[in-house]
Amino acid sequence: ACPFDSMHAKSELEKVKAALADPEKIVVIQTAPAVRVAIGEGFGYEPGTFLEGKMVGALRALGADYVVDTNFGADLTIMEEASELVERLKTGGQIPQFTSCCPAWVRFAEIYFPELIPNLSSTRSCIAMEAAMIKTYFAEKKGINPSNIVSVSVNPCTAKKAETKREEENAAARFYDDESLGMDTDISITTREFIRWIQEENLDFNAIEESQFDDLIGMETGASIIFGNTGGVMEAAMRTAYKLITDKEPPPYALTHLEDVRGMEGVKEATVQLGDDVTLSVAVVHGGKNTRDFLNALKDSDKHYDFIEVMACPGGCIGGGGQPRTKLPQAVKTKEARIGGLYEADANYKWVASYENPEIQALYKDFLGEPLGHKAHELLHTHYTDRSAVLGDRKDVTPETCPTSP
Ligand code: SF4
């Protein structure tokens, strides 16, 4: 009985294999930020080893027609989410804005805190955005009939399997008014399933040649790399919000190194100065119990926040239910090592902020128009539903009973 409803997922790995065996299908696979620092654990690497090139190489060896990066979708999420935050601040919209990229948190809010629905960012998750771009922009540019695409997501998350089946997750089909496109993401598999797949095909992971993502929707930034850990979405959003508010590049150590929102503490807070005139109060929460306690305390407090990141899994997506398993007490060290792997990659990456991603710039110029524009709203934004009625006699189910809670 998981209150985040993320534990009922069945493996659809066989469906991926069937799609790859079908000559009519074009299989496009995207990989989430947290997979690249955990996949190595299935093959004897230390937790946190950043294996992006091998991860892409493995998918090519398994037969993927295209491999693209959820990190690109994360940069897209930030473009829309930071723009939405700035819009809410300018127009007196509902504040605090809550992040919405964690489907388990979204469902939790819909069931247990439906009064917060107006505060949830309307931006779709990074995987959902990337999937919508696969069946629209990417298909158009590559000259592929989107009806032939099988869109696969490899990610750390069991809740993503349910997210991909939410009725509104068919933005590309609605965009073209063509039901044959199906859902934006056709199949979602976890990091563990990906490891099992490599093992079942007897691929020698150590010998796999490194490869790069395909172009158009395959570039990342440091901001999108850190999406995979607690505090990463907040830090990424602040980097771009700074630019949107001041029209200046964020200063290197004021914003691109938001220490106060880093680390495994359950609730983290920071004050962020965006130029001379805007000061934001932000909070970052992760884990089921922390989330419930934080939100209940918020109800009874007059504390003001402008922006709050919530991730259901302890540590964020690096600690997702679909990642390789480690037992306590080693589990905390493993999570910290995965987080370290992402921050190290961020520190060494040539672009720190999502708006610097050249492929993001090209996407808005050639296809979407502007953040929060008409096309962006159709493809990149969603809505939420009060689902508190489903509780019925399950009112005793609380996040303390959630197996992903710390
Ligand atoms: Fe999924 Fe956990 Fe990440 Fe939420 S925090 S998106 S449940 S892996």
Question: Whole-angstrom Cα distance, residue 205 to residue 405?
Answer: 32
User: Is 156's C-beta closer than 6 angstroms to any atom of ligand 1?
Assistant: yes
Substitution site in 102, 108, 335, 342 for ligand 1 pocket (most atoms within 8 Å of beta carbon)? 102
| Contact 6 CB / ligand 1 (< 6 Å) | yes
Tell me how far the alpha carbon of residue 239 lies from the centroid of ligand 1, in angstroms: 22
- Stated pTM of the model: 0.94
Instruction: Report whether residue 96 contacts ligand 1, using a CB cutoff of 6 Å.
Output: no
Neighbour-count burial of 332, counting CB atoms closer than 10 A to its CB (0-12 exposed, 13-18 middle, 19+ buried) = middle
The alpha carbon of 24 and the centre of ligand 1 are apart by a number of angstroms equal to 33
User: How many residues does this entry show for the chain?
Assistant: 406
- The DSSP code for 10 is -
Q: Quote the ligand 1 centre to 74 CA distance (angstroms).
A: 14
- Cβ-contact 123, 80 below 8 angstroms: yes
How high is the pLDDT of residue 257? 80
In short, whether 217's Cβ falls inside 6 Å of ligand 1 is no
The overall longest dimension of the chain from CA atoms, in Å, is 60
Q: How far is the CA of 322 from the centre of ligand 1 (A)?
A: 9
Compute and round to an integer the Cα radius of gyration of the chain. 20
pLDDT score for 400: 45
Which residue in 201, 215, 186, 188 sits closest to 61, CA to CA?
201
Most ligand 1 atoms within 8 A of CB, residue of 160, 229, 291, 310 to mutate? 160
At 392 the pLDDT is: 76
* Phi, psi dihedrals of residue 28, rounded to the nearest 5°: -110, 120
Q: What angle do CA 329, 334, 339 make, to 5 degrees?
A: 135
Kindly list the structural domains of the chain, giving each domain's residue range(s) and its CATH number in brackets, ordered by start: 13-401 (3.40.50.1780)
pLDDT tens track of the chain, all 406 residues? 454 555 556 789 999 999 999 999 999 999 999 999 999 999 999 999 999 999 999 999 999 999 999 999 999 999 999 999 999 999 999 999 999 999 999 999 999 999 999 999 999 999 999 999 999 999 999 999 999 999 999 999 999 998 999 999 999 999 999 999 999 999 999 999 999 999 999 999 999 999 999 999 999 999 999 999 999 999 999 999 999 999 998 877 667 789 999 999 999 999 999 989 999 999 999 999 999 999 999 998 999 999 999 999 999 999 999 999 987 778 999 999 999 999 999 999 989 999 999 999 999 999 999 999 999 999 999 999 999 998 876 654 554 444 343 3
Catalytic residues: 81, 84, 101, 121, 160, 163, 168, 317
Amino acid (1-letter code) at residue 99: T
In ligand 1, the atom with minimum distance to the C-alpha of 6 is 7
3-state secondary structure of 343: helix
**Does residue 159 have its Cβ closer than 6 Å to ligand 1?**
yes
Question: Is the reported ipTM for this assembly greater than 0.90?
Answer: yes
Please work out whether the CB of residue 228 comes within 6 Å of at least one atom of ligand 1. Answer: no
Among 99, 264, 311, residue to substitute to test ligand 1 (most atoms within 8 Å of Cβ): 311
- String of DSSP letters for 165-201: TSTT--HHHHHHT-GGG--S--EEEEHHHHHHHHHHT
pLDDT at residue 403, as a whole number = 37
Residue 329: burial class (beta carbons within 10 Å; 0-12, 13-18, 19+) = exposed
